[in-house]
Amino acid sequence: AECMLPIQEAPTVREDEPLLDAIGDMQQGPLDRALVLDGGMVVGLLSITDVGRLVAASQTGRRQRR
């Protein structure tokens, strides 16, 4: 089995892309993650797991503020 994709085939999102748009882009492909690009340079990796952690952290913060 292959473990790498050519960068042209890897899912990508822009650094300034809204999160909901990025999630939609990730759902279009077979992977649950995408390379984050800024001006064509890879600056990060976003995964569905990262999004889940962000949502969980924001919910915990809301509960603590009440």
CA atoms of 64 and 19, how far apart (whole Å): 24
50-62, pLDDT tens digit by residue?
999 988 988 887 6
2-49, pLDDT tens digit by residue?
677 787 888 899 999 999 999 988 888 777 899 999 998 999 999 999
Q: 10 Å Cβ neighbour count for 2?
A: 4
CA atoms of 54 and 5, how far apart (whole Å): 27
CA atoms of 44 and 35, how far apart (whole Å): 6
Question: What's the pTM?
Answer: 0.75
